[in-house]
Chains A and B, each alone.
Chain A
């Protein structure tokens, strides 16, 4: 029945090789679908590189995810030992065996017990295998490590012929097989198993650079299909293996025009569009103690208050430390942590290699699904890798975050050494926005100056702001630009005071002038008044003369008339005149 199904599958996809998903995160992406169905795959590597676990996870995931029963033939470890070894990964072998989903068969080959004489074959192994496969209808088979046969059996000629027959037989059975093999000195496996397994070969590696080990995986060969050819780091943790297909990168990620606030209003203003673009990457760099973590914390605070999920990768401080320290600037991260909006992921950079960090970060992000991610600080990673390593890791991380539309903030410690300047530069070309905090040293004190060095796609400010950390939060203040240049901190305050004093003096001087003016006006007005009076009296005088003259003229006219009248002797007229005066 098993065979028929596989045949059907093969016929359905004539052009394409049928593949069996391993269920190991990342590996199916590297192999573009999984291992070749119905064919053997060789997994080789040095001791302790995870071959057995790899194979076992293939079986367990097959049951859990794809409902494909599997047979695990162990040549090295007893079933009980295996069960204990993988129990820590959450695989319950006992239970799966009872459910007839998995069959673990232990084949023990002890040279001391065996005497060889004459011709033989390995039909016994075939029968056992066939029996195990048929008893649970297995589709997946693991032989771990078949090379052990070479230790127990002397006749290599027979063994090799039988192995060749075994693989043909397994192909005919239509089961997908993983064969593990110890790495040899010049060949992929000690016994040259790669000769027999020609369809797919995966090499596991466990390399130690700078005392830090990194596990890597490479698909050496995969007949009949495309596959990723690079070395991919992989991680073994409490959930099994995860492979990171890190370098399958293209520049075709979706972009967003949505804005994510930085959490500091003044900084938003400086950025031009009121924040960062969603899914962009932000670098906050600065020397020690300039408040990089504080910026990151206020970024997180804002995100959490808007109900967005945040993930904080701490490479320097423990979560407790960060929470305590951020209390001092009025940010209560604990609250968000309790609400499930914020999660910390703290690890020492030296815990494992860069690639492993990347895998771990990937895993954490995939699990928590945050909207906002903070890495604090990335410069600490340099302790485990070179500058270029860190850069290539960050490229891949940024790329991944971009594709997931997650906004990321990196903090980077800048020291005044050439190497770290380069780091800054190296990373800064990758990020979308770069905020730098610089110490401005003046008059025996240090103050923080904040620059927005770049912000792609925005008209950002070219101004320096003074970055002030108070117990109520972060603030940006316009720096003082005076005749003496840029002033910050107490110098700025002093200058302000100085200006205020000047202002006071100035206004005082002005008011004095004003008063004087008023006084002068008063004096002048008084003088005008007196001149006016003088003029009036002169006028009066002049008028008096004029009047007198008039009166005189009138009187003279009257007198002259009287005289004229007298001369004419008209009395009547005089009497008449008297009468009129009386009537009046």
Chain B
């Protein structure tokens, strides 16, 4: 049974980069893992205390909590290849 992807996207307000990242993320998820994922968007301007838990420095940051290992992808997620490798999707497909 496949584990469901739990993804968190940390943003700080509605900046251009955040918006781009979110739309990119949604696109990849739909393409590669329909229905097997959940995306949580956390706005640090609203909840600054949450930045500590996932060791967030850069904005935007995508954190994959499940499945292990935890990975972080920072940036506006414009490079599809890198995002997929980062989320361990590409590799699994090859193998």
Please indicate the chain A residues that have their CB under 8 angstroms from the CB of B74 in the complex: 114-117, 120, 153
- Distance in Å: Cβ of A141 to nearest Cβ of chain B: 16
B75 touches A123 (CB 8 A): no
Please indicate the chain A residues that have their CB under 8 angstroms from the CB of B83 in the complex: 115, 117
The answer to whether A109 has its CB under 8 Å from any CB of chain B is yes
Closest B-chain residue to A152, C-beta based? Answer: B57
B10 touches A120 (CB 8 A): no
State A121–B52 Cα separation when bound (angstroms).
Answer: 17
Contact of B17 among A115, A116, A120, A131 (CB under 8 A): A120
Contact of A113 among B21, B48, B71, B75 (CB under 8 A): B71
- Distance in Å: Cβ of A160 to nearest Cβ of chain B: 14
The answer to whether A569 has its CB under 8 Å from any CB of chain B is no
State A108–B63 Cα separation when bound (angstroms).
Answer: 14
The answer to whether A127 has its CB under 8 Å from any CB of chain B is yes
Please indicate the chain A residues that have their CB under 8 angstroms from the CB of B61 in the complex: 120, 124
B59 touches A118 (CB 8 A): no
- Distance in Å: Cβ of A106 to nearest Cβ of chain B: 8
A120 touches B78 (CB 8 A): no
State A11–B48 Cα separation when bound (angstroms).
Answer: 32
The answer to whether B55 has its CB under 8 Å from any CB of chain A is yes
Assuming the A-B contacts A107-B57, A115-B72, A128-B51, are A121 and B17 also in contact, with contact meaning beta carbons closer than 8 angstroms in the complex?
yes
The answer to whether A563 has its CB under 8 Å from any CB of chain B is no
Closest B-chain residue to A135, C-beta based? Answer: B49
Assuming the A-B contacts A117-B86, A130-B48, are A153 and B75 also in contact, with contact meaning beta carbons closer than 8 angstroms in the complex?
no
A117 touches B73 (CB 8 A): yes
Please indicate the chain A residues that have their CB under 8 angstroms from the CB of B20 in the complex: 118-119
Please indicate the chain B residues that have their CB under 8 angstroms from the CB of A68 in the complex: none
State A119–B19 Cα separation when bound (angstroms).
Answer: 12
B75 touches A120 (CB 8 A): yes
Of residues 405 to 436 in A, which have CB atoms within 8 Å of B's CB atoms? none
The answer to whether A266 has its CB under 8 Å from any CB of chain B is no
The answer to whether B66 has its CB under 8 Å from any CB of chain A is no
Contact of B44 among A108, A117, A123 (CB under 8 A): A123
The answer to whether B45 has its CB under 8 Å from any CB of chain A is yes
The answer to whether B58 has its CB under 8 Å from any CB of chain A is yes
The answer to whether A497 has its CB under 8 Å from any CB of chain B is no
Interface size on A, residues (CB 8 A): 24
The answer to whether B85 has its CB under 8 Å from any CB of chain A is yes
Closest A-chain residue to B21, C-beta based? Answer: A118
Contact of A128 among B56, B78, B79, B86 (CB under 8 A): B56
Contact of A123 among B52, B59, B73, B76 (CB under 8 A): B59
The answer to whether A361 has its CB under 8 Å from any CB of chain B is no
Closest B-chain residue to A108, C-beta based? Answer: B55
State A113–B52 Cα separation when bound (angstroms).
Answer: 16
Closest B-chain residue to A131, C-beta based? Answer: B48
B58 touches A120 (CB 8 A): yes
- Distance in Å: Cβ of B10 to nearest Cβ of chain A: 6
Please indicate the chain A residues that have their CB under 8 angstroms from the CB of B79 in the complex: 117-118
A122 touches B58 (CB 8 A): yes
The answer to whether A125 has its CB under 8 Å from any CB of chain B is yes
Of residues 48 to 95 in B, which have CB atoms within 8 Å of A's CB atoms? 48-49, 51-52, 55-61, 69-79, 82-83, 85-86
- Distance in Å: Cβ of A74 to nearest Cβ of chain B: 12
A116 touches B55 (CB 8 A): no
B59 touches A124 (CB 8 A): yes
State A121–B48 Cα separation when bound (angstroms).
Answer: 16
The answer to whether A149 has its CB under 8 Å from any CB of chain B is yes
State A122–B17 Cα separation when bound (angstroms).
Answer: 12
B77 touches A128 (CB 8 A): no
Assuming the A-B contacts A128-B52, A131-B48, are A120 and B59 also in contact, with contact meaning beta carbons closer than 8 angstroms in the complex?
yes
The answer to whether A199 has its CB under 8 Å from any CB of chain B is no
A118 touches B76 (CB 8 A): yes
- Distance in Å: Cβ of B47 to nearest Cβ of chain A: 9
Contact of B76 among A114, A115, A119, A122 (CB under 8 A): A119
The answer to whether A439 has its CB under 8 Å from any CB of chain B is no
The answer to whether B29 has its CB under 8 Å from any CB of chain A is no
Please indicate the chain A residues that have their CB under 8 angstroms from the CB of B72 in the complex: 113-115
Assuming the A-B contacts A113-B72, A120-B74, are A107 and B55 also in contact, with contact meaning beta carbons closer than 8 angstroms in the complex?
yes
Interface residues of B (CB under 8 A from A): 10, 12, 15, 17, 20-21, 44-45, 48-49, 51-52, 55-61, 69-79, 82-83, 85-86
Top-9 shortest CB links A-B: A115-B86, A118-B78, A118-B75, A118-B76, A131-B48, A123-B59, A124-B56, A117-B79, A117-B82
Give 9 CB contacts A-B under 8 Å.
A115-B72, A116-B73, A117-B73, A119-B20, A120-B74, A121-B17, A123-B58, A124-B57, A127-B12
Given contacts A109-B57, A124-B61, A128-B51, 6 further A-B contacts (CB under 8 A): A115-B72, A120-B17, A120-B58, A123-B15, A128-B48, A131-B48
